[in-house]
Amino acid sequence: MKLPRRRFLHLIAGTAALPAVSSIARAQAYPTRPVRIIVAAAAGGPTDIIARLIGQWFSDHTGQRFIVENRAGGSNNIGTEAVVRSPADGYTLLLANVVNAINATLFEKLSYDFLRDIAPIASIARVPNVMEVHPSLPVTTVPEFIAYAKANQVNMGSAGNGTIGHVSCELFKMMSGVNIVHVPYRGSAPMLTDLLGGQVQVTIDNVAGSIEHIRSGKLRALAVTTATRWEGLPDTPTVGDFLPGFEASGWYGIGTPSKTPAYIVERLNIETNSALADPKIQARLSDLGFTVLAGSPADFRKLIAQETEKWGKVVKASGAKPD
């Protein structure tokens, strides 16, 4: 039997649409059981807070539980490796951050390749760092600090070797030509305690942990490290205003083992961007010092690649080593 041409074309079109319909159906069906979000850091920090905020959105909008699991240790490597070694089925996610990009070069031997082994789902937020000094230091601007540091020994504290604060400090040294003594701590809390006490004179640290000390006058903000000013400190310039091209900020996003089906990645990307469009989520992130960073999986992949290359150059040039 010979089919009429119109009927034949309809059948062809219907057949071509089947994979798309099947993909949509599978995306709508996912998830069918609880999903783990691995945080490669201790509970209570910014990575953990973002994971719980986004995880709650996922739980509320997919009908399944998204459980945050903290796997701290190894400078993010223990938790990241746990995700890399998990089945690529969408039921184990990673709350990725800038440390993953730094670690690619900081550690000579890793059992995984972050760019190869983690499929980006969506970026979530950026957070500025702030360059801040103890009030006893006789400087109020970045140029004054550079001049002072060239004439005097200055100790710069960080939350530890290989942290964003550390490599930001190294980038600042490279671009300004000053020789600052790096003093690594085990976490931001003890470092800030010593900065407040004057044992170290300067740091570049997460603005969320320092903002109240700055507002109370216990610390003096010289500049934020993002490319543009931060609305939480509108009168504070950027480091880039004085060192053109300087930019150093934390960022967060969701990843999953590579080879995870594309329809799962797409579903989670849509959910993440929907969460970031919610005024309540935006307000909560703003309160914590974060700036929303929505985008596609391709956008997030590009960000990770750029940051890996950028911090790789800084790590190599500075000779930075892990703890």
For the stretch 154-193, pLDDT in tens is 999 999 999 999 999 999 999 999 999 999 998 888 999 9
Closest Cα to residue 224, out of 214, 233, 215? 233
Going by pLDDT thresholds of 50, 70 and 90, the confidence category of residue 203 is very high
The answer to whether 100 and 305 have CB atoms below 8 angstroms apart is: no
Domain with CATH 3.40.190.150 in the chain: 26-126+249-318
Q: Name the residue with higher pLDDT: 45 or 311.
A: 311
Mapping DSSP to helix (H, G, I), strand (E, B) and coil, where does residue 87 land? Answer: coil
The answer to whether 277 and 295 have CB atoms below 8 angstroms apart is: no
What is the C-alpha to C-alpha distance for residues 183 and 176, in angstroms, rounded to an integer?
Answer: 19
Mean pLDDT of 94-119: 96
CATH number of 26-126+249-318: 3.40.190.150
Note the maximum CA span of the chain: 94
Going by pLDDT thresholds of 50, 70 and 90, the confidence category of residue 12 is low
Residue 187's pLDDT is 86
Superfamily of domain 128-241: Periplasmic binding protein-like II (3.40.190.10)
Domain with CATH 3.40.190.10 in the chain: 128-241
Q: What is the pTM of this model?
A: 0.88
